[in-house]
Amino acid sequence: MTEAIAIITPALTFVKEKARIYLAGGRKSAAAETLVEVMITIVVLSVTVIGVGGYSYYATLDMQWADRQVTAARVGNLLCQSWASVKGAETYDLIADVGSDLVIANLSPPQSLPEGFILLGIYNITVDGVGFKAMLSWKDISNELRALHIEVTYARHDWNNPVKKGFRLITYVLK
Protein backbone atom coordinates (compact mmCIF):
# COMPACT_ATOMS: atom_id res chain seq x y z
CA MET A 1 0.00 0.00 0.00
CA THR A 2 2.85 2.39 0.69
CA GLU A 3 4.16 1.75 -2.77
CA ALA A 4 0.77 2.63 -4.27
CA ILE A 5 0.66 5.89 -2.29
CA ALA A 6 4.19 6.71 -3.42
CA ILE A 7 3.18 6.20 -7.05
CA ILE A 8 -0.12 8.10 -6.79
CA THR A 9 1.18 11.08 -4.76
CA PRO A 10 3.13 12.78 -7.61
CA ALA A 11 0.22 12.26 -10.00
CA LEU A 12 -2.21 13.63 -7.42
CA THR A 13 0.06 16.61 -6.77
CA PHE A 14 0.20 17.25 -10.55
CA VAL A 15 -3.60 17.16 -10.83
CA LYS A 16 -4.02 19.46 -7.80
CA GLU A 17 -1.52 21.92 -9.32
CA LYS A 18 -3.38 21.90 -12.63
CA ALA A 19 -6.70 22.46 -10.84
CA ARG A 20 -5.20 25.39 -8.90
CA ILE A 21 -3.86 26.92 -12.14
CA TYR A 22 -7.24 26.45 -13.81
CA LEU A 23 -9.08 28.06 -10.91
CA ALA A 24 -6.55 30.95 -10.80
CA GLY A 25 -7.44 31.97 -14.31
CA GLY A 26 -5.26 29.68 -16.36
CA ARG A 27 -1.88 31.05 -15.25
CA LYS A 28 0.68 29.63 -12.90
CA SER A 29 2.15 33.02 -12.11
CA ALA A 30 -0.23 35.67 -13.35
CA ALA A 31 1.98 38.68 -12.47
CA ALA A 32 5.07 37.46 -14.35
CA GLU A 33 3.20 36.67 -17.54
CA THR A 34 1.39 39.99 -17.39
CA LEU A 35 4.72 41.82 -17.25
CA VAL A 36 5.96 39.85 -20.27
CA GLU A 37 2.72 40.57 -22.12
CA VAL A 38 3.01 44.29 -21.34
CA MET A 39 6.61 44.36 -22.58
CA ILE A 40 5.63 42.57 -25.81
CA THR A 41 2.73 45.00 -26.28
CA ILE A 42 5.08 47.97 -25.79
CA VAL A 43 7.50 46.57 -28.38
CA VAL A 44 4.70 45.93 -30.90
CA LEU A 45 3.24 49.42 -30.38
CA SER A 46 6.70 51.01 -30.68
CA VAL A 47 7.34 49.27 -33.99
CA THR A 48 3.88 50.33 -35.19
CA VAL A 49 4.42 53.97 -34.21
CA ILE A 50 7.82 54.05 -35.94
CA GLY A 51 6.27 52.49 -39.06
CA VAL A 52 3.42 54.99 -39.13
CA GLY A 53 5.88 57.86 -38.63
CA GLY A 54 8.02 56.68 -41.54
CA TYR A 55 4.98 56.22 -43.74
CA SER A 56 3.73 59.73 -42.89
CA TYR A 57 7.16 61.21 -43.61
CA TYR A 58 7.44 59.63 -47.04
CA ALA A 59 3.83 60.43 -47.89
CA THR A 60 4.47 64.10 -47.06
CA LEU A 61 7.71 64.07 -49.06
CA ASP A 62 5.94 62.55 -52.07
CA MET A 63 3.23 65.21 -51.81
CA GLN A 64 5.88 67.96 -51.84
CA TRP A 65 7.57 66.41 -54.89
CA ALA A 66 4.23 66.09 -56.67
CA ASP A 67 3.39 69.71 -55.84
CA ARG A 68 6.77 70.82 -57.22
CA GLN A 69 6.19 68.80 -60.40
CA VAL A 70 2.70 70.24 -60.90
CA THR A 71 4.00 73.76 -60.29
CA ALA A 72 6.78 73.24 -62.87
CA ALA A 73 4.21 72.05 -65.41
CA ARG A 74 2.00 75.06 -64.71
CA VAL A 75 4.93 77.47 -65.01
CA GLY A 76 5.90 75.87 -68.33
CA ASN A 77 2.33 76.15 -69.57
CA LEU A 78 2.13 79.79 -68.46
CA LEU A 79 5.37 80.64 -70.28
CA CYS A 80 4.28 78.76 -73.38
CA GLN A 81 0.88 80.47 -73.58
CA SER A 82 2.16 83.96 -72.77
CA TRP A 83 4.91 83.78 -75.40
CA ALA A 84 2.57 82.21 -77.97
CA SER A 85 0.05 85.00 -77.33
CA VAL A 86 2.51 87.48 -78.87
CA LYS A 87 3.12 85.05 -81.78
CA GLY A 88 6.58 84.06 -80.55
CA ALA A 89 8.06 87.54 -80.88
CA GLU A 90 11.87 87.70 -80.84
CA THR A 91 11.62 90.72 -78.55
CA TYR A 92 9.37 89.02 -75.99
CA ASP A 93 10.18 90.21 -72.47
CA LEU A 94 9.16 87.60 -69.93
CA ILE A 95 9.91 89.81 -66.94
CA ALA A 96 7.72 92.65 -68.26
CA ASP A 97 4.91 90.26 -69.26
CA VAL A 98 4.52 88.01 -66.18
CA GLY A 99 7.09 89.50 -63.81
CA SER A 100 4.43 91.05 -61.59
CA ASP A 101 2.95 87.62 -60.83
CA LEU A 102 6.22 85.71 -60.30
CA VAL A 103 9.70 86.42 -58.96
CA ILE A 104 11.87 86.23 -62.09
CA ALA A 105 15.61 86.84 -62.57
CA ASN A 106 17.85 86.52 -65.64
CA LEU A 107 20.51 83.78 -65.70
CA SER A 108 23.60 83.23 -67.83
CA PRO A 109 23.33 81.37 -71.16
CA PRO A 110 23.49 77.56 -71.08
CA GLN A 111 26.25 75.36 -72.45
CA SER A 112 24.00 73.94 -75.15
CA LEU A 113 20.69 74.61 -76.87
CA PRO A 114 18.40 72.33 -78.84
CA GLU A 115 19.75 72.04 -82.37
CA GLY A 116 18.87 75.01 -84.57
CA PHE A 117 17.14 77.00 -81.81
CA ILE A 118 18.04 80.58 -80.92
CA LEU A 119 18.08 81.50 -77.24
CA LEU A 120 15.57 84.10 -76.08
CA GLY A 121 16.57 83.92 -72.42
CA ILE A 122 17.17 81.86 -69.30
CA TYR A 123 15.33 82.78 -66.14
CA ASN A 124 15.19 81.77 -62.51
CA ILE A 125 11.52 81.73 -61.49
CA THR A 126 10.57 81.47 -57.82
CA VAL A 127 7.09 80.29 -56.85
CA ASP A 128 6.27 79.95 -53.13
CA GLY A 129 9.96 79.82 -52.24
CA VAL A 130 10.76 77.05 -54.75
CA GLY A 131 13.14 77.85 -57.60
CA PHE A 132 12.59 76.79 -61.19
CA LYS A 133 14.93 77.37 -64.10
CA ALA A 134 13.27 78.27 -67.41
CA MET A 135 14.92 78.40 -70.81
CA LEU A 136 13.10 79.94 -73.77
CA SER A 137 14.34 79.50 -77.34
CA TRP A 138 12.85 79.64 -80.80
CA LYS A 139 13.44 78.45 -84.35
CA ASP A 140 11.84 79.49 -87.62
CA ILE A 141 10.46 76.43 -89.38
CA SER A 142 9.32 78.40 -92.41
CA ASN A 143 8.50 81.99 -93.34
CA GLU A 144 5.14 81.67 -91.60
CA LEU A 145 5.77 79.10 -88.84
CA ARG A 146 7.91 79.43 -85.70
CA ALA A 147 8.68 76.76 -83.11
CA LEU A 148 8.81 77.93 -79.49
CA HIS A 149 10.85 75.76 -77.11
CA ILE A 150 10.27 76.15 -73.37
CA GLU A 151 12.16 74.05 -70.84
CA VAL A 152 11.40 74.27 -67.11
CA THR A 153 13.65 72.37 -64.69
CA TYR A 154 13.79 72.01 -60.93
CA ALA A 155 15.88 70.08 -58.41
CA ARG A 156 14.54 67.05 -56.61
CA HIS A 157 16.66 65.76 -53.76
CA ASP A 158 16.71 61.97 -53.38
CA TRP A 159 18.81 60.99 -50.39
CA ASN A 160 21.06 64.06 -50.66
CA ASN A 161 21.57 63.52 -54.41
CA PRO A 162 20.04 66.36 -56.39
CA VAL A 163 18.29 65.07 -59.48
CA LYS A 164 17.35 67.48 -62.26
CA LYS A 165 13.73 67.04 -63.29
CA GLY A 166 11.65 69.11 -65.64
CA PHE A 167 9.40 69.64 -68.61
CA ARG A 168 10.16 70.47 -72.22
CA LEU A 169 7.39 72.07 -74.24
CA ILE A 170 7.45 72.90 -77.93
CA THR A 171 4.62 74.77 -79.55
CA TYR A 172 4.22 76.24 -83.01
CA VAL A 173 2.84 79.67 -83.83
CA LEU A 174 2.09 81.50 -87.05
CA LYS A 175 4.17 84.63 -87.43
Task: Work out the average pLDDT over 40-69.
Answer: 90
Contact 132, 124 (CB under 8 A): yes
pLDDT band at 113 (very low <50, low <70, confident <90, very high): confident
Regarding beta strands 145-158 and 118-127, do their DSSP bridges make them parallel or antiparallel, or are they unpaired?
A: unpaired
Contact 145, 175 (CB under 8 A): yes
> Is residue 111 predicted with pLDDT exceeding 60?
yes
Contact 51, 136 (CB under 8 A): no
CB count in 10 Å sphere of residue 122: 17
Q: How many helices (H) and strands (E) does the chain have?
A: 3, 5
pLDDT band at 21 (very low <50, low <70, confident <90, very high): low
> Is residue 41 predicted with pLDDT exceeding 70?
yes
Task: Work out the average pLDDT over 26-43.
Answer: 71
List, for residues 61-92, the tens digit of each pLDDT value.
889 889 999 999 999 999 999 999 998 888 88
Distance CA 72, CA 131 (A): 9
Task: Work out the average pLDDT over 18-37.
Answer: 63
Task: Work out the average pLDDT over 145-168.
Answer: 82
Determine the pLDDT at residue 7.
57
pLDDT band at 142 (very low <50, low <70, confident <90, very high): very high
Domain limits of the chain?
A: 2-44, 57-174
Determine the pLDDT at residue 98.
78
Distance CA 136, CA 5 (A): 104
Q: How wide is the angle at C-alpha 31 spanned by C-alphas 25 and 32, nearest 5°? A: 115
pLDDT band at 107 (very low <50, low <70, confident <90, very high): confident
